[in-house]
Amino acid sequence: MQEFKSWLEYLGFEHAVKRRSRYVREAEGDDFLKAVLASAGKRVKTLPAGGFVWRAQLGHDMEPVFQDGEHIDNRPIPYPPDRMKPLRDRAKEGRANPRGIPCLYVATSRDTALAEVRPWIGSLISVAQFRIRRELRVVNCTTHGKASYVYVGAEPSPEAREEALWSDVDRAFAKPATPGDDVADYAPTQIIAELFKVHGFDGIAYASSLGPGHNIALFDLDAADLVSRSLFRVKDVKFDFTTS
């Protein structure tokens, strides 16, 4: 089985595809991806058919209110069903997808989906619950919040290198994106996601840095059906700070 050559290999791959060569990769990058694929089989998580996942969108629709046939007001309602799934032909850049090739980003819990949109107090959020249509095999990138690995001197064992690499991959997927992010920041995780997609996996699970559950990027937009929609108003947002 292809093994990782160094515990720093993800960082080298990340730098290479961001700054040197992305679509025609260097030999070291291809070797790294072969090792990722070889070890991915040990990290497969099965999502059963009939299970539920959640997706949130910041914002809402409006519905007119009538009294005695007269329009007297408008009230907020959740976005319509077609707004709660990605557009098939106008996908924006994402952690697991390039522009124009959409993924269905969902979460394992409602609260995680709510937190992932990074709302402010008083904002309204449309939330959809989805039922998984068929058994799905996703690569579980999560490393249960383990700290970063640092090794000094000689390379650690193959097992330790693998654990360090997957920790870096998990953090790369979980890192919150901002509107000001360089598009190149998405390149490493998009390449890894596409690697899993073309080799028959249904998606990727990765940690949420904002909520208690996990995020899942599903490659097939029809892998889950929308079953209900709700509207939530944010009552409180909590922050916890520490020195860096």
Tens of pLDDT, residues 148-166: 677 777 888 888 888 888 9
Q: Looking at residue 59, what is its pLDDT?
A: 94
Answer whether residue 147 is part of any domain.
Answer: yes
- What is the predicted pLDDT for the residue at 5? 87
Would 38 be classed as within a structural domain?
yes
Is 104 within a domain? Answer: yes
Residues forming beta bridges with residue 207, ordered by sequence position: 214
**Domain assignment of residue 106, given as a range:** 9-233
Full DSSP string of 135-176: -EEEEE---TTPPPP---SS---HHHHHHHHHHHHHHHHHSP
pLDDT at 41 > cutoff 60? yes
Cβ partners under 8 Å of residue 162, min gap 6: 3, 4, 39
Q: For residue 244, is it within any domain?
A: no
| Residues contacting 170, CB < 8 A, separation 6+ | 141, 142, 143, 206, 207
Tell me, yes or no, whether 242 lies in a domain: no
Q: Check residue 27 and give its pLDDT.
A: 82
Instruction: State which H helix or E strand residue 106 sits in.
Output: strand 104-107
pLDDT at 1: 66
Q: How many domains does the chain have?
A: 1
pLDDT at 108 over 90: yes
- Indicate the angle between helix axes 27-40 and 187-198, nearest 10 degrees: 50
Residue 3 maps to a domain: no
Give me the count of residues in the chain.
244
111 closest CA partner among 59, 58, 168, 54? 54
Mean pLDDT of 4-8: 86
**Which DSSP symbol is given to 88?**
S
Question: Considering the domain boundaries, does residue 83 fall inside one?
Answer: yes
129: left (phi over 0), alpha (psi -120 to 50) or beta: beta
Q: What would the pLDDT profile of 169-184 be if each residue is shown by its tens digit?
A: 988 888 866 655 666 7
The answer to whether residue 71 sits within a structural domain is yes
